[in-house]
Amino acid sequence: MKVEHEKTKEVLKWFEEITKIPRCSKNEEKIANWLSQWAEENNFEAKRDKVDNLVIKVPGSPGYENSPAVIIQGHMDMVCEKTPDSDHDFTKDPIKLVYDGDWLTADKTTLGADNGIAIAMAMAMALDKDVAHPPLELLFTVDEETGLTGANKLESDFLDGRILINVDSEDEGVFTVGCAGGINTYLSVPLKNESMPNGYKTYKVTAGGMKGGHSGIDIGMGKANAIRILGRALHQVRKDGIDLRIVDIKGGSAHNAIPRDATAVVALPSGEFSSAEKIINEYSKTFNSEFQKTDPDLKVSIEESNESVSKVLTTDSTIAIIQFTLAMLHGVAAMSPDIEGLVETSNNFANISIEDGKLKVLSSQRSSVVSKLQEHTSRIESLAKLAGGDAKSGDGYPPWQPNMESELLAKSTKLYEQLYNKKPVVEVIHAGLECGIIGDKYPGMDMISIGPDLKYPHSPDEKISIPAIGKVWDFIVELLKTMK
């Protein structure tokens, strides 16, 4: 790999160091310690709050010492996803980087450029003597990916600046100025077991090969949800008269990742395996045809299981799970009437499992309209209650309402056009950004979100454009220069 842009080399040097440090959501202590040590070694003031949010203060360069401070912001955690055949241990193993032409990706895991690239860029910028800049506050938050916890826990006196550049967007040349709010809902439905019927054997049904992706950015693409696919396959087996009983079911991972894989351990009369296999193979072809454009490698299969099982779910509980997977909402609920092509309201059927004798389901709702977010959440809560269960929703986070009169936006738009001889795209996105929460906590904060081209975040296909890193670097450097 040959990197032409000299500053990109420095950014990638720091990014490679970051990828050596385990930093799944809710486990950011090591990266926070490492960054604190880096700040101390470079004589930068640093402080951490109770949840490990970190702000590093970098003095202004000569001539900029008394300029208003600018916040460069990103999050320390990453979504930890891997392919089924990967033996990567996210608690200790460094990410294995793969340079492929103009792209940087990882070997069978998420890359963590979401949002490690923001940290690397801020570190390189803070140390670069050629960069003229006002006082900088490098704000690195925790647990963004599982509910924007760090931003929610920020205290009102943690920051001094009122200009913020968030580097957590995924398209170079696009300025994000608004985002959806979100709420996670946890659903629980009681189940009943009985003894394994005589003459039954256990089998494993697998729905896999799906692309997954970001549950906000990608939700409008119509990608397959592995949990829904698995539920449809199990439904068809029972519909065709086979007494399938569920023993266990698992699917999905993070609240903001569209499920790529799901499995069910089931019990069948031993003489019915061939019939069940034929049904599932036929429906695998049907599913593959339905999702040929978005998930061409989708596959559903059944095989014998070596699990020793003494209990299975009753017929009623088995049917309840299958019906729940069919009835559970997933995908786009409404498009924006104001912004063409923008998803207004959606949810991700994110996770399913059986724990402590109950079906457990996680749904993640998003909307740019608070009342619609609340209404859609109520619909999902109602499904659990209709099934005889319970639902509990979190506090969520607010939408970031766009300010089209922003001074920072006007300055950024004019500068980008001067640098690249084209106008940037200004957009509102259907994903959660910390800007909404930070702006709520710090009234008057002028904010913009930018970033290099990043493809397939929250999946093992995640990759970042190397040339785009240099373009974003150049833009931020020129923008900071104007803030004397």
Note the CATH architecture for domain 6-180+399-481.
3-Layer(aba) Sandwich (3.40)
Token representation of residue 58: 């970098």
122/395 Cα distance (integer angstroms): 31
At 344, phi and psi to the nearest 5?
Answer: -85, -50
Where do the H-state alpha helices sit in 2-112?
6-18, 29-41
Q: Work out the average pLDDT over 144-156.
A: 91
105-117 pLDDT, tens digit per residue, is 999 999 999 999 9
Task: State percent of the chain over pLDDT 70.
Answer: 100
Q: Which residues contact 118 (CB under 8 A, 6 or more apart)?
A: 72, 73, 74, 75, 166, 167, 168, 451
- In the residue annotation, 272 being an active-site residue is answered as no
Q: Please give the pLDDT value at position 395.
A: 85
Q: Please give the pLDDT value at position 146.
A: 83
- Give the H or E element holding residue 104: strand 103-106
Q: Residue 96's pLDDT band (boundaries 50, 70, 90)?
A: very high
Which is more confidently placed, 6 or 206?
A: 206
- Residue 449 reports pLDDT greater than 90: yes
Cβ-based neighbour number of residue 327 at 10 Å: 11
Q: Residue 338's pLDDT band (boundaries 50, 70, 90)?
A: confident
- In the residue annotation, 405 being an active-site residue is answered as no
28/413 Cα distance (integer angstroms): 34
Active-site position among 10, 77, 427, 434: 77
Sheet containing strand 454-455, edge to edge, reads 97-100, 103-106, 463-465, 454-455
Burial of 415 (0-12, 13-18, 19+ CB in 10 A): middle
Token representation of residue 356: 């402590």
Task: State percent of the chain over pLDDT 90.
Answer: 91
Supply the DSSP symbol for 99.
E
Task: Find, among 34, 32, 13, the residue nearest to 124 by Cα.
Answer: 13
Beta-strand pair 174-179/425-429 = parallel
Q: Please give the pLDDT value at position 2.
A: 67
Q: Residue 38's pLDDT band (boundaries 50, 70, 90)?
A: very high
Average pLDDT for the chain:
96
Q: Work out the average pLDDT over 460-481.
A: 97
Q: Please give the pLDDT value at position 105.
A: 98
Q: Please give the pLDDT value at position 3.
A: 72
Q: Please give the pLDDT value at position 188.
A: 98
Q: Please give the pLDDT value at position 307.
A: 83
Q: Are residues 170 and 456 in contact, defined by beta-carbon separation less than 8 angstroms?
A: no
Locate the domains of the chain by residue range.
6-180+399-481, 183-393
Q: Work out the average pLDDT over 52-62.
A: 98
Q: Residue 358's pLDDT band (boundaries 50, 70, 90)?
A: very high
194-205 pLDDT, tens digit per residue, is 999 999 999 999
Q: Work out the average pLDDT over 285-301.
A: 96
Q: Work out the average pLDDT over 123-147.
A: 95
The CA distances from residue 418 to 103, 184, 205, 425, 481, in Å, are 27, 42, 57, 14, 14
Q: Work out the average pLDDT over 239-246.
A: 97
Q: Work out the average pLDDT over 459-466.
A: 95
Fold held by 183-393: Alpha-Beta Plaits (3.30.70)
108/95 Cα distance (integer angstroms): 9
- By three-state DSSP, how is residue 81 classified? coil
Active-site position among 114, 137, 144, 381: 144
4/188 Cα distance (integer angstroms): 54
Q: Please give the pLDDT value at position 1.
A: 58
Q: Where are the beta strands (DSSP E) in 293-416?
A: 299-304, 311-313, 331-335, 343-355, 358-367, 390-393
